[in-house]
Amino acid sequence: MSVALITAGSAGLGAATVRLFAKNGFRIIVNYANNDQRANKLIEELPAISTLPQDGGRSNFIAIKADLGNRDDVNRLVRESIDKFGRLDVVFSNGGWTRYRGMDSIDDNAYEEEWDRSFNMNVKSHLWLMQAAKKHLDETEGAFITTASTAGISISASSLAYAVTKAAQIHLAKALASMAAPKIRVNSVSPGLLMTEWIDDFPKESKETHLQKTKLKRFVAVEDVAEQVLTFARNKSMTGLNVVVDAGFTL
């Protein structure tokens, strides 16, 4: 039975992907940062929607608390995942960080600590996770998938630091695809604006402007992005790609 590690997996896109993978027969490690109650509630939900034999119950799913910004924690996360299930077939590296600053003022976007945290979470954390998981994904000829953003390909984002580090993350995924070949496939998915807790700090006007710029006149559903993640997990001929799921925002 295939095993998927999904980081930042207890809410938003992560949780939608966890549910979809459970429905498609994966055993799952849900990584989360702080909210034990939310992570455990999601784990309790999964046996009922899983296509795995019911006698496995909750044993097919586990939640592991780890700070993705800490390299030692990332290594521990992979180690505990292997201790539990013995293999990794898919790693969905979904963690990230931003603080809303808008894209109008250089001065508003020049806080060094925010640049450092953005680079740590939006770039380095994916590299550390890939490094830790590589030998296990080699064994299964598995897939490593990251969540990037349309902010990395278009000048429209929560902050300049977020946009620049997401562009770096897309470039990182392409480089990793080359370095991890031929056994591991590495791809990224770039959603448009998702209506999750991430955008609670966005001004209402910014959300409306984004909506009106989409050709489909809708926000992207987390379930649609999760479907692309599952496609990457299953498809044996896709690597080095960044697929945009944005309702036509960047057209």
Q: How distant, in Å, are the alpha carbons of 134, 157, 186, 240, 242 from that of 237?
A: 18, 31, 11, 10, 14
Q: Look at residue 126 and tell me if it is in a domain.
A: yes
Q: Look at residue 127 and tell me if it is in a domain.
A: yes
**What is the pLDDT, as a whole number, of residue 100?**
83
CATH number at 99 reads 3.40.50.720
So which residues are the catalytic ones?
162
Question: Total structural domains in the chain?
Answer: 1
Q: Look at residue 251 and tell me if it is in a domain.
A: no
**Are 247 and 218 a contacting pair, CB within 8 Å?**
yes
**What is the pLDDT, as a whole number, of residue 200?**
66
**What is the pLDDT, as a whole number, of residue 157?**
77
Provide DSSP, 213-235: HSTTSSPBPHHHHHHHHHHHHH-
pLDDT in tens, the chain (251 residues): 899 999 999 999 999 999 999 999 999 999 999 999 999 999 999 999 999 987 666 799 999 999 999 999 999 999 999 999 999 999 999 999 988 888 889 999 899 999 999 999 999 999 999 999 999 999 999 999 999 999 999 877 789 999 999 999 999 999 999 999 999 999 999 999 887 776 666 778 878 888 898 999 999 999 999 999 999 999 999 999 999 999 999 99
Q: Token pair of 21, please?
A: 């993978």
Q: Look at residue 250 and tell me if it is in a domain.
A: no
Q: Look at residue 229 and tell me if it is in a domain.
A: yes
Range of the domain at 47: 3-245
* Cα-to-chain-centroid distance, residue 51: 23
Q: What gap in Å lies between CA 104 and CA 118, rounded to an integer?
A: 19
| Single-letter amino acid code for the residue at 211 | L
**Are 106 and 152 a contacting pair, CB within 8 Å?**
no
Helix axes of 112-119 and 160-180: crossing angle, nearest 10 degrees: 30
**What is the pLDDT, as a whole number, of residue 198?**
66
